[in-house]
């Protein structure tokens, strides 16, 4: 996987990526009722879990698919690809005030 990550970085498309600990070390927070409920892992009722992620900046879904086809996963593994929301996805709902707030948060995170 390290060599594949190197290819993504060298291509200039990898923004972030990490593996995640197993669900046995996680918690869930279920909302509803008077207050949220905390549930300790592992989560036996879950059929599919996220084991890690890459955040890539590519021109299209097709380009993301082409990159993922190169990943060194064993036969039978499956990886989901999804877009990250961008301001344009929210249209008129993303007011100038919300844009300014988002920009402030992005700048604060970068510090």
pTM for this prediction: 0.75
Structural domain harbouring 48: 2-84
Q: Are 64 and 14 contacting, i.e. CB atoms less than 8 angstroms apart?
A: no
* Selection from 12, 22, 18, 1 nearest residue 68 by Cα: 1
Residue 67, domain CATH = 3.30.70.1060
Q: Cα torsion at 14, 16, 21, 27 (round to 10°)?
A: -140
Domain for residue 72, yes or no?
yes
Domain total of the chain = 1
The residues facing 56 across adjacent strands are 14
Residue 82 in this model has a pLDDT that exceeds 90: yes
Paired sense of beta strands 37-40 and 52-56, if any: unpaired
Mean pLDDT taken over the chain? 90
Residue 46 in this model has a pLDDT that exceeds 80: no
């Amino acid at each position: 996987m390290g060599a594949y990550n190197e290819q993504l970085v060298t291509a200039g498309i990898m923004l972030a990526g990490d593996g995640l600990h197993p669900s046995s070390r996680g918690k869930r927070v279920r909302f509803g009722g008077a207050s949220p409920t905390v549930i300790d892992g592992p989560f036996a009722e879950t059929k599919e879990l996220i084991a890690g992620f890459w955040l890539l900046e590519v021109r299209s879904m097709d380009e993301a698919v082409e990159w993922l086809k190169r990943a060194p996963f064993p036969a039978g593994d499956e990886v989901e690809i999804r877009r990250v929301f961008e301001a344009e996805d929210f249209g008129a709902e993303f007011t100038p005030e919300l844009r300014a707030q988002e920009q402030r948060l992005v700048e604060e995170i970068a510090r």
